[in-house]
Amino acid sequence: MDTSGCVLTSLFVAAVLGPVLAVIAPEIVGETMLGIDLGTTFSVAAVCHRGHVEVVPVFGQNTVPSVVFMNSTTTLIGSSAAALRTHFPKNTIFDAKRLIGRNYSTDELIQEEQESLPFKVFDSGNGSVLLGVPGIAEGVTPQRVGTLVLSQLKAAAEAAQPWRQFFGFRYKSVTISVPVAFDNAQRSATVKAGEAAGFRMVRILEEPIAAAISFGLHHGTRERTVLVFDMGGGTLDVALLRLELRTRTFLIMGSSGDPHLGGEDFDRALAAHFTETHDAVHSAIGAGGDVMKARLVKAVEMAKQRLATTPDHTFSLPVGKEGTDKLQLSLDRGTLKEVCSSLLERAMNPVYDVLMEALMEPDDVDDVVMVGGSSRLVAVREMLGEFFGDKVLNYETDPDLAIAVGSAMSFGC
């Protein structure tokens, strides 16, 4: 009996009917869950289908800068917007997550934030925050910035499944992770940003819970206490979780953090070090101004990242008006640890605080989870490893992607 025809027919039917059924009857083929880590510095989307998780690439990158460029004629999102930050600082909006859902009149943090931002932050008239952008007469809300970033990630996730998209598939629901410290107003603003991006249902999940799920700790065989250390580009969040075995859910026992401590602070400290210790760098900064400062910060950021896999790194710093001349500089792990010692000490304070709040000692913690791009720093891992002794540090999942992965996995995938 010739079965080749049957096989080809079956494959054809599966190829055609699969995408159709995914649109009109997802319960038959299984719903694909979308999770998004709407971060302060970078954002990530991941999809989970029948237990298999994939990160959504956007223009070939797994992470998207949480940056929006706007003027009277143009709106750019992500990498294309971030590339204009140095040249058009007042039109390039970043760190909007710090401001979303906050009240201009009553929130003291707003006053602190606006001192470091190049664009204007002002009261809309009813207490909500507006961002002043040249060319945008009505201003821009932080919520609108979130909507634009979410829209780009949603479109990328749908485009990653062209057959389903061809038959009309669109993501109608999403799980968005938020910091534990977000209050009701901030969570509500995040939900509204998601709805404006085209989602009918927006679930909110605390970031440390998403991180723990991404490492599979919810499948444990006994109740466990988990400390999540999340250090990103601009913020540090530490949370203590307890796995409730009967329901396979995590309870938040306590949280702490530093809203102004992250990878960018390490970059600035290293840039200042090279400026102070190298006459040629100091002269180049004096001649090149803000453009030269931006080049130096970018160069040391890349060198810092390389130290995650190698003990030292030599790199070139473009100097001169066109950047064609090069200065050769080097950075090693020991220098980074020395230059950034005060930042490393600050990073431990939330760990001390959250354990003290729960009346616990390091030995009471079963698992330590490290997420956020800055958790790659060897100095950070060594510091936590020394404090928690023989505890295994969980950082196998890409720390930039872990929260998005956990968000996608969190609701029945």
Determine the distance from the C-alpha atom of residue 209 to the mean position of all C-alpha atoms in its chain, rounded to a whole number. 15
Q: Which of 133-142, 158-167, 195-204 has the lowest mean pLDDT?
A: 158-167
pLDDT of residue 3: 53
Strand order in the sheet with 68-70: 75-77, 68-70, 92-93
Say yes or no to pLDDT of 364 above 70.
yes
d(CA 358, CA 361): 9
Q: Which of 37, 206, 258, 400 is catalytic?
A: 37
Strands 42-49 and 120-123 come out as unpaired
CB 357 within 8 A of CB 230: no
Q: Is 230 an annotated catalytic residue?
A: yes
Closest CA to 230 of 37, 409, 34: 37
Residue 110 has a pLDDT of 87
Active site residue 207: yes
Average pLDDT, the chain: 89
Task: Say whether pLDDT at 162 is over 50.
Answer: yes
CA distance 108 to 189: 19
Which of 95, 97, 258, 304 is catalytic? The answer is: 97
| Token pair listed for 19 | 């995408």
pLDDT tens-digit readout, 281-323: 999 888 888 788 888 999 999 999 999 999 999 999 988 877 6
Alpha-carbon distance 122 to 99, whole Å?
A: 11
Query: Judging by DSSP bridges, how do beta strands 225-231 and 367-371 pair with one another?
Result: parallel
Domains with residue ranges and CATH for the chain: 25-92+148-215+397-413 (3.30.420.40), 263-339 (3.90.640.10)
Q: Whole-model pTM?
A: 0.86
pLDDT > 60? residue 157: yes
Report pLDDT for 7.
47
Active site residue 27: no
For residue 391, give the 3-state DSSP assignment: coil
The one catalytic residue among 206, 230, 265, 367 = 230
Per-residue tokens: 291: 């453009």
Residue 96 has pLDDT above 80, yes or no: yes
Q: Which of 203-217, 233-247, 328-342 has the lowest mean pLDDT?
A: 233-247
Contact 97, 65 (CB under 8 A): no
pLDDT value at position 296?
93
What are 171-203's pLDDT values in tens digits?
999 999 999 999 999 999 999 999 999 999 999
The DSSP code for 218 is G
Residue with tokens 């995040």: 190
On the CB side of 6, CA atoms within 13 Å amount to 3
pLDDT greater than 80 at residue 128: yes
Is there a contact between 78 and 94 (Cβ–Cβ < 8 Å)?
A: no
Q: What are phi and psi of 168, to 5 degrees?
A: 95, 10
Catalytic residue among 207, 237, 264, 400: 207
Confidence bin at 267 (pLDDT 50/70/90): very high
Judge contact between 202 and 396, C-beta under 8 A: no
Q: Which helix (H) or strand (E) holds 381?
A: helix 378-388
